[in-house]
Structure 1
Amino acid sequence: MNLIASLSRHITSGKLEELTLTTNGSQLSKYAQQLADNGVKRLNVSLDTLDREKFKKLRVGAILTKC
């Protein structure tokens, strides 16, 4: 989160108009408030697949869970 906090200072200085983030969402519930507090106004959530069999092939060793 230090990177987000560091980048957010550029919003208040006017060097950045907007701070966006692309994520797989796996840690989103943990960091959502910090992201909002640091000026992130837009999130892009990128998913490989919701199909368990395809996921196993794409992400060997990872576990697809329901949120």
Structure 2
Amino acid sequence: MAEKEITEKDRELAKQCLECKVCNTARKNQRGFAFWFVKWLEGGICPACKAHEKVYGRKAHEPIIE
């Protein structure tokens, strides 16, 4: 299956996900309501979370490894 091209809009939406307070809380704490919300609901509904996964190759609730 061919990889879809990452567009500028995808990058903008992924940036929104990086700046989102709910997603940041989920990535930072890895537990609690924000984590549950992002893991089970937001990933299937939110276009910013979908773009984050497409651009960065990891789910929106997964911690950022530096």
Normalized per residue, the structure richer in helix is 2
Larger radius of gyration: 1
Normalized per residue, the structure richer in strand is 1
| TM-score of the two chains, using structure 1 as the length reference | 0.29
| TM-score of the two chains, using structure 2 as the length reference | 0.29
